[in-house]
Amino acid sequence: MRWFMLLALVIASDSSATHELGDYRYFRALSIDLVGRPPTRDELAAYDKADFDLDAWIEAHLTGAEYAERLRRIYMDALRLEIGGSFQYVPNPVMLRRQQVTGPDGTPIWIYFRRGQRRTDAARDGDFCLTQDETGQQFPTNAVATGTAKPVAQAVLDARTIVVKPWWLYADYRDVTPEDFVAPDWAKRFPGFVPAPALLTEPDGKTPSIAVRVCREEAQTADSGAVYVSGRAGVKKGEPLPGGRMSQPPGDSGFAKNAKGRAVSCLSGTGFSSSVECGCGIGLERCLPNAGPQNEAQAFVIPARTPLGTAMPFEANPSPPAAWVRMWWGEEAARFLDSLFSADRDFREVLTSHATTVNGPLAQFYRFLAGASCCGPGADAGYSEPDPLFDPAAVPQALTPEDTATWMPVADRGPHASGILTMPVFLTKYGSRRARAHVLYNAFLCKDFIADSVKLSPSNDPDLTKRAGCSSCHQTLEPMAAYFTRVQESDWTWLPASIFPMTPKPEAKCTGPKASGLCKQIYDQAFDKLRGAYASPAHGETGPNGLAQELVTAPEFAPCVVQNVSESLLGRSLAPEDEAWKTQLVKVFVDGGYRMKALVRAIVKSPRYRAGNDHT
């Protein structure tokens, strides 16, 4: 910045200059905040002309990408949503792993498969589709094959696997004969979509992969399948496992036994884990590739260090599929905020809006991948197909997974959607209900929980709103956390009241030491209610929509917005002497329909903003 100050001094010393040094500092601060960079020499020269209209300049820059990005950073930072690696998400049910085997001609080949894929043969069920007898190898979970490889017979290979042209190699994978193969021009057509080099070659590291060989069950395209029951007994201790496998074949769950033959969606985790007819869909679009058997094997090259934004990364590395998905979750939140600010919509929509914007990777996630985390123990209660926070039917059908550059609006994600509160980046970053409530309390009401100076004493009271030493914080936190009762923790699946009443039905057997696994995970035995709801069952029923309304109607909401924005633009915390000014800004913000433009205009035109930047 030294060149700017020197130039400003030179201009200010010119007898024809119309501004003092403080004016240039003010213009520099405005440019950084509204344009995203210091002014250029040409812009300084224009500013110094007698007919330069600074008010018009400010008005012209209270819109656009740079302005929106400046405001977006305030709330992405407040919610800490740009720290992509600070939470875990491993999409096991939809992850295509691969093992290397020896083909019939002695050439090494890749075989893609899903861990846990149901198969009718006990030697392969829930495991790799080729056995030790057929390959000479064993296939440990999350590890490379062991043993001495031998060529797989062609008849076995044809019976157990099939060749597919997958979505990460062909943009037109949905066509009968795909031809739009990954090529150098994809960098312009689909910026940011870069499959890891390991996905693009055969085991020799040189021969381009023009298709993949995948286990037949994974290549299935049906939308639904029947619940499969093997009826087999487990292998007794000391007896060899079938086919040389290294773990017991999966048993029949209680849900499977009770729902044998019932149709289940192949877009749900229940369908994947309970039906042999559920695969990865056309072109394997319902699954993510992984260049190895491990969770953290390479999938896509993504930005690693992005101080200038993801479009201009300092570093990009091959990363696992989980990192690819998390990156686009963050981009969704960023685009959502950018749209809010650039269109100068009512800021309360940050918590209440049902709308969003998605591109190809996000469309793939919401249409095909999000339901894979459902429904776990809930299936035993009849919950086998997810009630999502984002209705897959609302996803634009034209978007394909590699289409990173096309962003399309979604006007209504579904009845449970509620701004940032129901986006995966928020729900996974803040996995627990209390963590979600706490960060919202802090970011949108500018308040925090401070415990009383009460001496803690031993207590077995499960009600934290009453327990000594805890109640001062939890009297407020627990009712707020209750709004997320019906959203599973570390997930985005809704627990519908039709299947999960607030108080469990007597036949659910949720009390006593012999309570079912379902009850232990979904119901809180101490209160005989859904977990998280005890402090306010009514909040549990209204869900995140209710919390959004509570926050945006709270008297602290508008003052908190003013505080967050003004402190960011001033570069300092507000002091007691700023209170009257803050009150004026709150009136400007509220009278302006809770729109940011009026607020930012008032801040940057204020003497405080100018004075705060009138120093070297």
Report d(CA 501, CA 496) in Å as an integer.
8
CA-atom Rg of the chain in angstroms = 29
Mean pLDDT, residues 212-218 taken together: 98
Q: Which residues pair with 99 in a beta bridge?
A: 111
Report d(CA 43, CA 32) in Å as an integer.
13
DSSP H/E element including 316:
strand 315-319
Report d(CA 114, CA 96) in Å as an integer.
5
Mean pLDDT, residues 144-173 taken together: 97
Q: What is the pLDDT of residues 324-353, one digit of tens each?
A: 999 999 999 999 999 999 999 999 999 999
- From 501, 544, 531, 533, select the one nearest 415 (Cα to Cα): 544
Q: Which pLDDT value is given to residue 403?
A: 95
Q: How confident is the model at residue 295 (pLDDT cuts 50, 70, 90)?
A: confident
Amino acid at 594: Y
DSSP type of residue 154: H
Mean pLDDT, residues 18-36 taken together: 91
Decide if 521 contacts 491 (C-beta within 8 A): no
Share the mean pLDDT of the chain.
Answer: 91
Whether the pLDDT of residue 88 is over 80: the answer is: no
Report d(CA 469, CA 463) in Å as an integer.
12
- From 407, 439, 400, select the one nearest 339 (Cα to Cα): 407
Report d(CA 426, CA 490) in Å as an integer.
9
User: What is the bridge-based pairing of β-strands 95-102 and 288-289?
Assistant: parallel
Report d(CA 131, CA 124) in Å as an integer.
7
Mean pLDDT, residues 97-118 taken together: 96
Q: What is the pLDDT of residues 182-210, one digit of tens each?
A: 988 898 899 989 999 999 999 999 999 99
What residue segments make up the domains of the chain, in order of their start?
A: 2-61, 84-89+309-552, 92-294, 558-612
From 177-186, 455-464, 550-559, the region with the lowest mean pLDDT:
455-464
Report d(CA 125, CA 541) in Å as an integer.
40
Q: What is the pLDDT of residues 585-601, one digit of tens each?
A: 999 999 999 999 999 99
Q: What is the pLDDT of residues 486-496, one digit of tens each?
A: 999 999 999 99
Report d(CA 342, CA 64) in Å as an integer.
6
Q: Which pLDDT value is given to residue 15?
A: 46
In 16-38, which positions are buried (b, 16+ CB within 10 angstroms) versus exposed (e)? eeebebebbbbbbbbbbbbbbee
In the block, tokens 């709270």 appear at 554
Whether the pLDDT of residue 240 is over 80: the answer is: yes
3-state secondary structure of 611: helix
Q: Which residues contact 607 (CB under 8 A, 6 or more apart)?
A: none
Other beta carbons less than 10 A from residue 353's beta carbon: 22
Report d(CA 37, CA 411) in Å as an integer.
33
From 75-89, 138-152, 269-283, the region with the lowest mean pLDDT:
75-89
Q: Which pLDDT value is given to residue 99?
A: 96
Q: What is the pLDDT of residues 574-588, one digit of tens each?
A: 999 999 999 999 999
Prediction pTM value: 0.92
Amino acid at 198: A
Report d(CA 133, CA 123) in Å as an integer.
10
For 563, the token pair is 């505080």
Number of H helices, E strands in the chain: 22, 17
List of E strands, 379-453:
387-388, 408-410
**Higher-confidence residue: 512 or 46?**
46
Whether the pLDDT of residue 472 is over 60: the answer is: yes
Q: Which pLDDT value is given to residue 16?
A: 53
Query: 183 to each of 171, 235, 260, how far by Cα in Å?
Result: 10, 49, 46
3-state secondary structure of 129: coil
Decide if 105 contacts 208 (C-beta within 8 A): no
Report d(CA 413, CA 422) in Å as an integer.
10
Q: What is the pLDDT of residues 356-404, one digit of tens each?
A: 999 999 999 999 999 998 887 777 777 888 889 999 999 999 999 999 9
Q: Which long-range contacts (CB under 8 A, 24 or more apart) does 301-308 make?
A: 301/194, 301/195, 301/196, 301/197, 302/192, 302/194, 302/327, 303/327
Amino acid at 338: D
Give percent of the chain with pLDDT exceeding 70.
94
Decide if 98 contacts 291 (C-beta within 8 A): yes
What are the helix (H) ranges across 211-295?
A: 254-258, 269-274
Report d(CA 399, CA 166) in Å as an integer.
16
SS3 content of the chain, % helix, strand, coil (to 5): 40, 10, 45
Whether the pLDDT of residue 613 is over 50: the answer is: yes
Q: How confident is the model at residue 84 (pLDDT cuts 50, 70, 90)?
A: low
Other beta carbons less than 10 A from residue 155's beta carbon: 9
Decide if 436 contacts 430 (C-beta within 8 A): yes
Label residue 192 left, alpha or beta by phi (over 0 means left) and psi (-120 to 50 means alpha): left
Whether the pLDDT of residue 107 is over 60: the answer is: yes
Whether the pLDDT of residue 86 is over 60: the answer is: no
In the block, tokens 């060529």 appear at 151
Distance separating the N- and C-terminal Cα atoms of the chain: 10
DSSP type of residue 457: -
Whether the pLDDT of residue 139 is over 70: the answer is: yes
Q: Which residues contact 207 (CB under 8 A, 6 or more apart)?
A: 201
DSSP H/E element including 549:
helix 537-552
3-state secondary structure of 358: strand
Q: Which pLDDT value is given to residue 446?
A: 97
Q: How confident is the model at residue 83 (pLDDT cuts 50, 70, 90)?
A: low
* CB-count exposure of residue 315 (10 Å: 0-12, 13-18, 19+): exposed
